[in-house]
Structure 1
Amino acid sequence: MNKNKKAVVLSSGGLDSTTVLAMVREKAYDIFSLSFSYGQRHDFELKAAQTIAAAMQVKKHLITRIDLSPIGGSALTDAIPVPKSRNPSQMTDEIPVTYVPARNTIFLSYALAWAEVLGAWDIFIGVNAVDYSGYPDCRPEYIQAFETMANLATKAAVEGKGRFCIHTPLIDMSKAQIIQAGLSLGVDYGLTHSCYDPDADGLACGHCDACVLRKNGFAAAGVPDPTIYTP
């Protein structure tokens, strides 16, 4: 892999996106990581993303501010309670209220814009269609549709300078497999933050969907979960 090849990687500060960062680093890309302050319930994930970017020695880490809270419609951006203590089957019974309307479409659009400016043809996102909470914008058909759009809607692609590719290396992996892959690449999961509803000190609640999936993933992987949960 050419060391000068550039990649834009969406980084939430969570377990999945951090594993993707490690995978991209292993391929010797110059990494440009992108996070969003979008009016979410807390900024602990952004602090984690900054710490992770430094640990991964990314070329540049950018935090873009978009306020989705006036739109609302999600437990992550509105005064809607975060669901707690659900089992995985309950999580996929219907699209949960932690779904943020059009979030991945918005995030990928920003990533695409930055990639076009950078001359980067590869965009990586840690979506997963196995251990996920039923989000429609985490499915392979959505990613393929966005990639098609990206190559129709950008000056660089229309002029034939290259073709944008949206990479989803975790799409078919279980949470346990993701964790095992990350550990093999030296990921320190103690730096990551997954909880939807942490306390004022940033400690994970241990009961939201994200915490449950994380706990189950570490248990299935047979390794200790480094997360500190509220008592």
Structure 2
Amino acid sequence: MTRKAIVLLSGGLDSTTVLAIAKEQGFEPYALSFRYGQRHEIEVEAAQRVAEAAGVVRHVVCNLDLRVFGGSALTSDVEVPKHDSVDEIGDDEIPLTYVPARNTVFLSYALAYAEVVGASDIFIGVSALDYSGYPDCRPEYIAAYERMANLATRAGVEGNGLKIHTPLIDLTKAQTVQVGTRLGVDYSLTSSCYDPGDQGRPCGHCDSCLLRLKGFAEADLKDPLEYQDEPA
């Protein structure tokens, strides 16, 4: 019998690759995206394109408003940091684009969705390499959340343990791009920019754009997206 899986799908490079991995592993994917008041809400449109192209069983888009708390350049009027080079991205502090407790909130919704559809597996595209320093992308966080999930749900108590899959956790962006390319991912459908311009064109200078471009460059591949201003 085909196993069901919830795939957290932002519409970006990582989550789109994870969706392809889940399908390759034989899971029947149920996608979950969020419209949470993010300034780059165009990513939800990308997620819808990706979900349709992948033929997911069901794609749920949840509406919640993290702007009520603020605390992030993605959910407030604070400017998104921009750089001329990926080398300028600091690795010793949590960046302004960190959204407080975002992955905890998202995983909680995924947990509820999993119980309803009878899934024992959740896929999330976090990475401990080539990322912006978010604390909720670390393997120890995922392990702790999985333990909590199996204590907090009927499925867990009844012995139907939940597994959180993080297939990109130890991959660089280049390796992620290579895996996705091998699986036939169409990255032209995706959106990664934190501060997109007209018609969703990526800025080319936020952390997400720079890390994405670095990944494609190191994989010796061309990013199919058209940037407003692609760094040299």
| TM > 0.5 fold call | yes
- Is the Cα contact below 8 Å between 1:83 and 1:208 reproduced in 2? yes
Partner residue, 2:102: 103
Partner residue, 1:120: 119
Separation of aligned partners in 2, 1:135 and 1:91: 12
Query: For residues 1-231 of structure 1, what are the structure 2 equivalents within 5 Å?
Result: 2=1, 4-85=2-83, 87-88=86-87, 90-160=89-159, 162-231=160-229
Separation of aligned partners in 2, 1:148 and 1:159: 14
Name the TM-score, length of structure 2 as normaliser: 0.96
Separation of aligned partners in 1, 2:227 and 2:53: 23
Helix, strand or coil: the match of 1:62? strand
- Is the Cα contact below 8 Å between 2:123 and 2:166 reproduced in 1? yes
- Is the Cα contact below 8 Å between 2:89 and 2:207 reproduced in 1? no
Sequence identity percentage: 61
Separation of aligned partners in 2, 1:154 and 1:25: 25
Q: How far off is 1:155 after superposition?
A: 1.1
What are the superposed Cα offsets for residues 95-128 of structure 1, whole Å, 9 maximum, x if unpaired? 0000000000000000001001111000000000
**Closer, same or farther in 2 for the Cα pair 1:172/1:88, shift >3 Å?**
farther
Separation of aligned partners in 1, 2:150 and 2:127: 23
Name the amino acid aligned to 2:125. G
Separation of aligned partners in 2, 1:112 and 1:6: 13
Separation of aligned partners in 1, 2:86 and 2:71: 23
13-22 or 86-95, which moves further after superposition? 86-95
5+ residue gaps, structure 1, are none
**Which runs of 4 or more aligned residues in structure 1 lie more than 2 Å from their structure 2 counterparts after TM superposition?**
86-91
Name the amino acid aligned to 1:143. I
5+ residue gaps, structure 2, are none
Helix, strand or coil: the match of 2:89? helix
Helix, strand or coil: the match of 1:9? strand
- Is the Cα contact below 8 Å between 2:40 and 2:193 reproduced in 1? no
Q: How far off is 1:89 after superposition?
A: 5.9
- Is the Cα contact below 8 Å between 2:173 and 2:215 reproduced in 1? yes
